Amino acid sequence: MKFFVSLLLVALLGFAAPLYFPWWSFAITTFIVLFFLRQTPGKSFLAGFLGLFLLWGINAFWLDMANNHLLSQKVAVILPLGGSATLLIILTAFIGGLVSGFAGLAAGYVGERGDVGGGR
């Protein structure tokens, strides 16, 4: 339960923070979420990673659908990803997830005292 709550909060605050702060500000909110909702380093990483992976992935997917893949197919040539919109969405999600995951992991080590068990 704690895991899902933290994952949701990571995504929620990861969306809210960049509305006002730089794109990477979600790293700080992820850290804060997982600092207060203590879990093992592994779960902290996973919650951080998945929260942003899903947020960025769904967000990009949504924008891409409405755009009929017009821009993503062009960007996927510039970057270069062989013109694949799907790969570009996965890359987007992965980059967001990776930064957030490491921020979560850092929080996981702060909270780790040995007695922290599962997700409840």
Binding site for another protein (CB under 8 A): 15, 18-19, 22-24, 27, 41, 56, 59-60, 63-64, 66-68, 70-72, 74-75, 77-78, 83, 91-92, 95-96, 98-99, 102-103, 105-106, 109-113
CB 1, min distance to another protein, A: 24
CB 58, min distance to another protein, A: 9
By beta-carbon proximity to another protein, the closer residue of 32 and 91 is 91
User: What is the Cα–Cα distance from 52 to 35, expressed in whole angstroms?
Assistant: 17
